[in-house]
Structure 1
Amino acid sequence: MSTSNIPIILLAAGQSSRMGGRDKLLEVVDGIPLLRRQALVALAAKAGPVFVTLPLGPHPRYDVIDDLDVTVIPVPDAGEGMNASLRRGVAALPPDTTATMLLLADLPDLTTEDLITCLRAVDLASNMSIWRGATEDGKPGHPIIFAATYFAAFAKLTGDSGGRDIVAAAQDQTQLVPLPSQHARRDLDTPQAWEAWRRENPDR
């Protein structure tokens, strides 16, 4: 199907609670704050509108994307966990949306090409309804594209499961999409993880 009508929801309302006071989404990657990088990666995929969930303002994260063509979705109940962002992000989608991509903001190795690879795998006429990025050795990761049939379930999510129950119940309708190396799973949410990643990527 066309990849030009699948909105992307960039989940960026988390509290960086494991970072010891630092904000992981403001860490510099490729010369810019990680959140800005991820928003630019999403925009360059040209999949559809890009929505970004953020904590209630004022918050420094707003400043790093305020000039980008994205729709910010404040999440007043972000402290509840990721499901608050999922509920509000899905609720903001245009009414004719047939599928949406969920993109985590703390995966610095994901590229626009990775997103496009996942988008091109989508076939709403098939018996698949979830398309999920995976590591080169087949471990499921991100991003994840959900057909609209799941939107009602997202509206009912509570807590911090991140939709895991939805994914678990639909394994036979999930297509894994291999991406390079560990792009789909390398998240950085502790200072130690950042230090290790920077040692491995001194040019970034």
Structure 2
Amino acid sequence: NLLVLGTLGGKRIIGAPGCARSPKENGFDWVLDRLIAGLDVTARDIAGMGVGGLLMEIPTRPQPREPLPAKAEPKVEIVLLAAGRSSRMGGPNKLLALFDGKPLVRRTAERAVGSKAAATIVVTGHQRERVRSALSGLDVTFADNPDFAEGLSSSLKAGIAKISGDAAGAMIVLGDMPGVASADLDRLIEAFRKSEGRSVVRAAHDGRRGNPVLLPRSLFAAIAHLEGDTGARHLVEAEGLDVIDVEIGEGAAVDVDTREALESAGGVLQD
């Protein structure tokens, strides 16, 4: 039974096993009940209680000891980048291209909002009013990037600056990836939580890294010092953090930087 019962200086001593910490009824409870009631407890009594371990809970005695509080899961927020100029399109804004009658940026934002992320932050810049209008009614927060012409790093910094103080990570979602679904985002979040919020998590396809990318808070300070049209890829390599690649299918590799790519993916450019 793993219990030790003795007397020292006229006082009862109980050597209790680990099961004594459990909220479920166990052999320790049976011995303690008897001693408090003034009943003698012999070696035969203890041996007759079984071979130790936990016993089934009974309705008359539910949860007598306070259980440990559940550990909170690492909180993740999404930074959706929608500030670019679509320069390779030669004029039209690719984020406003229609996919099944819906602007691409709205389609992407809806999938972000529909994921397990705690919040979605949309970074706007080029044609910000048109982009915001396309997202009307969605539960998103906007981060304006007046320096969008300087490149990707300026949008990353604007988005990360809006992340909540209690968030463990930020998932960087590109606005021009029509093949990424809410379920794909959830798979990245789940992998991040399993790492206890310490690892970089990347979407991948056929063993090749892609997007989105989920960054832990430990990288936020370094992102604030990025310059030019660069993302966080070199930071990930320089910091030496663990990187987890999650296979999500073709969506990780399909973006629509050119007219041909957009039309091939089913999009229709607007003026």
Q: TM-score, normalised by structure 1?
A: 0.89
Matched, 1:79 2:79: no
Give 2:17's aligned residue: none
Give 1:189's aligned residue: 257
Q: Which amino acid aligns with 2:79?
A: I
Give 1:157's aligned residue: 226
3-state SS in 2 of match to 1:59: helix
Q: What CA deviation, in whole Å up to 9, does each residue of 1:34-65 have, x standing for no partner?
A: 00000000000031111000016653111101
Q: What is the aligned residue count? A: 197
Give 1:177's aligned residue: 246
Matched, 1:96 2:166: yes
C-alpha separation in 2, matches of 1:4 and 1:149:
13
Q: Which amino acid aligns with 1:177?
A: V
C-alpha separation in 2, matches of 1:55 and 1:194:
21
- The two structures, once aligned, show a CA RMSD in angstroms of 2.1
C-alpha separation in 2, matches of 1:51 and 1:156:
20
C-alpha separation in 2, matches of 1:120 and 1:15:
33
Contiguous gaps of at least 5 residues in structure 2: 1-70
3-state SS in 1 of match to 2:80: strand
- Structure-to-structure mapping, 1:35-114, within 5 angstroms: 35-55=105-125, 59-114=129-184
How far 1:189 moved relative to its partner?
1.0
How far 1:177 moved relative to its partner?
0.4
Higher relative contact order (CA 8 A, sep 6+): 1
C-alpha separation in 2, matches of 1:171 and 1:189:
30
Give 2:235's aligned residue: 166
3-state SS in 2 of match to 1:115: helix
Question: Could you list the runs of 4 or more consecutive aligned residues of structure 1 that deviate by over 2 angstroms after TM superposition?
Answer: 1-5, 56-59, 123-128, 167-172, 195-199
C-alpha separation in 2, matches of 1:106 and 1:171:
29
Q: Which amino acid aligns with 1:120?
A: E
Q: Which amino acid aligns with 1:69?
A: D
Q: Which amino acid aligns with 1:79?
A: A
C-alpha separation in 2, matches of 1:93 and 1:58:
20
Contiguous gaps of at least 5 residues in structure 1: 200-204
Matched, 1:34 2:104: yes
Q: Which amino acid aligns with 1:155?
A: A
Quick check: 1:7–1:49 contact (8 Å CA) kept in 2? yes
C-alpha separation in 1, matches of 2:89 and 2:97:
11
Quick check: 1:82–1:162 contact (8 Å CA) kept in 2? yes
Q: Which amino acid aligns with 1:198?
A: G
